[in-house]
Structure 1
Amino acid sequence: MRILFTVANSPSHIRALVPAIRAAEAAGHTVAIATAATSAEDIAAYGIEHLPAGLDILELVARTLEESGTTFAHLTAMERTVDFFIGPPAEAMAEDVIDSGWNPDVIVRSTLEFGGVLAAEVLGVPHASVAIGGAVNVISPPSTLAPLMAPLRASFGLPPDPAGEASFRHLHACLMPETYDPAEAAVPHSRFYRHENPGRRGDALPPVLAGLPTDKPWVFASLGTLAAFASDGISLLKSVVTAVTQLDCVAVISTGRGVAHQEFGSLPSTVVLVESVPQPLLLECCDLFITHAGHNSVREAMRAGVPLVCTPLFSEQPYNARRCAEAGVGEQLRTETMTADDVLAACREVLDDPRYRNNARRIRRDMLALPTLETFVADLQSLVRSGSGRSNGH
């Protein structure tokens, strides 16, 4: 079976598909990931075949910000997320996949990539989706997708879809248990599978971490791969650093690329700044995760049973943070007004109250009880064998 995964070229979006891709490869299927050519190095680090396709979303974001003078948070507010990813990005992806000659038997798209739906229908093959973010049922329900996809469907000669059912016509994979977000089951044709944390070739923790004390709680902080686009990203990071220096802990802060560490001044030996770190590995030995509440980060933390302090920045992150608070696995802060004292108080609350860790471990147990991604691959194979998709397009 030939399986083509389609995804926007955000590093976090690509990362979210890696476990499913590896499960398909392990089952002996031919697999490739279709995303922008500029992501070649990122894809190579995972050892996956790359089909260059679609627009560079990161370049599009940067250009739109410059031309509009708006903020990244405004541009990517949850209610505008689908508007941004549908349109030229979906059209370009569909055209490139159709013209590539790769000839997939099934297309699996991330939930914020919509060209895969169009390409699958034109090619007459089934398609599935994988939830790479939270709030799929809020961001992209069929009623929202229908009017946005209508002009694209018409341009590719596809039949009208007034109810918006086409995008979730066959199979939607959720990688968090229903106990974390019961609303996710409302997405048509949803099935739940066990998330496995991804890794790159040669992943290892920085040697500097090996000699740090083990008699204190370990706190990890990261605001994600797109934090640099947030106008207040550095100031938020400084608040986090100030807070953890007042905790009796070992803290590892992932600043992201292009951040001058001298901006943070002199720090205790137990507070370590790194440009990046293999997040799933570090979470295995952490007691608390301060995070922007991106879905990858929440999912990887729950897989490790680590509670959270959430500092959401944009897109569906506020929704994810609310879900974490409602599930009792973390505290949610209002990033617009957040101070170092707020971060400190939230960290102390989560570290001192065992219910947060207990709830995170409960979600972890629920994840471990889900069917594996091998089952997802088998479900894709059943979809192909059933002949689904042959009558949906041309």
Structure 2
Amino acid sequence: MSRFLFVVPPLTGHINPAAAVAAELAARGHEVAWAGRPAIVERLAGERPRVYGCAGPDHLAGRPPQLRGVAALKFLWADFLGPLAEAMAPGVAAAITAFRPDLVVADQQTVAGALVAERLGVPFATSSTTSAELTDSMAGLPGVDSWLTALLARLRERIGDPAATHDPRFSPLLTLAFTTPELTGPCLTPGTVLRFVGPALASRRAPAGDFPWRWLDLAPGTAPVLITLGTANADAGARFLAESVAAVRARAGRLRAVVCDPGGLLGAVAPGPDVLVRPSLPQVALLERMAAVVCHAGHNTVTESLWHGVPLVVAPIRDDQPVVAAQVVGAGAGVRVKFARAGRERIGAALDAVVTDPAYRDAARRIRDAFRAAGGESAAAAHLEELAAAPGPAVRTGAMTPLPPTEGHAHAGQ
């Protein structure tokens, strides 16, 4: 049996797919450990995971809600992902030294995993939880590609192997893409073995929490819609959520909506047969009952919806979301609206289209079939097993200068 170390950021959408794969590996008899923020990993990764604590923030904070485009992307890397890599590096090094994994599985945007692994001579695979990095997403952003390349090079000088030349966002050995070409279209992946495995959802399929499931039966004959802006946009969506609710209520008797509002942006919205607002939702379970989804084009929400064959109205806000939204539209599985401008009329018209035009549902179902055929966490685990069993270099445990003193330590559930 093999030993796998998952290196993840403090972001739910990045940990959830890894948690499904880790659970599959554990079920096959392998040993699994994590490097990340213990409280977050323990909440998402099942019962009593072995977690090596890493320094760094618990979430992406401090980004102005109105930040978009190039400015948002630069903030993400310069003010969050770059500093996160340096903060996590000592903990990742300690985890590798203590756990001695056969393979590190590094989140694509948590480059501490890739850079520290390469420095210590440990093989690593990349977990690509967003398809934006697999496409030429920076082609229309002059200078950004070279700026990011320089930022990654500086990180490599600090925490990686300065002699290495590959892009740390792509393992030279294996990149797992939690999607398929039926959604992404052509992909550009420099210097990696790319494997499409589709969404990994096993750890989140069961209904959970105190959701009032009987509410879904209050208005038979109306199409149920899920409205969500994900977990990272609670500060930016008050206007859009309110307009989406208004669009649904203007179609009373035809549509009803379950709305996720973790930030309480809508205030006190009276429940009724047409709209139910909740601070959190068992999203994967709910999608089995939905006719459409209105969302921010976050990769996890999009792939979870399409895994169930549900078409979308996508309103991208920033980061990878415009790329994912373009993929949805290009695949024929949804309609795009402008997050900052779309009102109830435009959102309502988009909902009318995806709910009533069978072409959108047919496209969503084609992607669903491709996702399910790709194998999900089972296929991902098989690829990782094969790589871990291949002959590789011994772990080097020498000094990691100029890294600061290690802060990593193991947790086994709280």
TM-score (norm 2): 0.83
Among 249, 252, 265, the alignment partner of 2:255 is 249
- What's 2:385 paired with? 381
The 3 A distance-change label for structure 1 pair 72 and 42 is farther
> In structure 1, the residue corresponding to 2:179 is in which secondary structure?
coil
- What's 2:25 paired with? 24
- What's 2:197 paired with? 193
1:244-393 counterparts in 2 under 5 A?
Answer: 244-247=248-251, 248-259=254-265, 261-262=267-268, 264=269, 266=270, 268-388=272-392, 390=394
Deviation at 1:319, TM superposition (A): 1.2
- What's 2:167 paired with? 164
In structure 2, distance between residues paired with 1:3 and 1:9: 19
- What are structure 2's unaligned runs of at least 5 residues? 140-144, 399-414
The amino acid of 2:197's aligned partner reads: Y
In structure 1, distance between residues paired with 2:317 and 2:346: 16
Deviation at 1:49, TM superposition (A): 3.3
Deviation at 1:110, TM superposition (A): 1.5
Which range moved further: 336-345 or 98-107? 98-107
In structure 2, distance between residues paired with 1:104 and 1:40: 18
- What's 2:83 paired with? 88
- What's 2:221 paired with? 215
The amino acid of 1:336's aligned partner reads: A
Deviations 1:267-326 (A, max 9, x none): 642211111111110000110011111000001011100000011111111111111111
Deviations 1:138-182 (A, max 9, x none): 469997764322223223462323453684211001121112112
Deviation at 1:207, TM superposition (A): 3.6
Deviation at 1:390, TM superposition (A): 4.7
- What's 1:2 paired with? 3
Runs of 4+ in 1 over 6 A off after TM superposition: 140-144, 391-394
In structure 2, distance between residues paired with 1:373 and 1:346: 33
In structure 1, distance between residues paired with 2:104 and 2:241: 38
- What's 2:403 paired with? none
Contact 1:128 1:172 in 2 (8 A): yes
Task: Name the count of aligned residue pairs.
Answer: 384
Which range moved further: 167-176 or 324-333? 167-176
Contact 1:120 1:389 in 2 (8 A): no
Deviation at 1:370, TM superposition (A): 1.5
The 3 A distance-change label for structure 1 pair 73 and 277 is same
Deviation at 1:353, TM superposition (A): 0.5
Higher relative contact order (CA 8 A, sep 6+): 2
- What are structure 1's unaligned runs of at least 5 residues? none
The amino acid of 1:111's aligned partner reads: Q
Deviation at 1:74, TM superposition (A): 6.1
The amino acid of 1:98's aligned partner reads: A
The 3 A distance-change label for structure 1 pair 258 and 48 is farther
Deviation at 1:23, TM superposition (A): 1.5
The amino acid of 1:104's aligned partner reads: P
Which range moved further: 289-298 or 364-373? 364-373
In structure 2, distance between residues paired with 1:376 and 1:335: 34
1:116-131 counterparts in 2 under 5 A?
Answer: 116-131=113-128
In structure 2, distance between residues paired with 1:337 and 1:355: 26
The 3 A distance-change label for structure 1 pair 165 and 236 is closer
- What's 1:227 paired with? 233
Select the structure that is richer in helix: 1
Deviation at 1:260, TM superposition (A): 5.6
Which range moved further: 140-149 or 316-325? 140-149
Contact 2:118 2:160 in 1 (8 A): no
In structure 1, distance between residues paired with 2:42 and 2:375: 32
Contact 2:206 2:285 in 1 (8 A): no
**Root mean square deviation, CA, Å:** 2.9
TM-score (norm 1): 0.87
Contact 2:120 2:396 in 1 (8 A): no
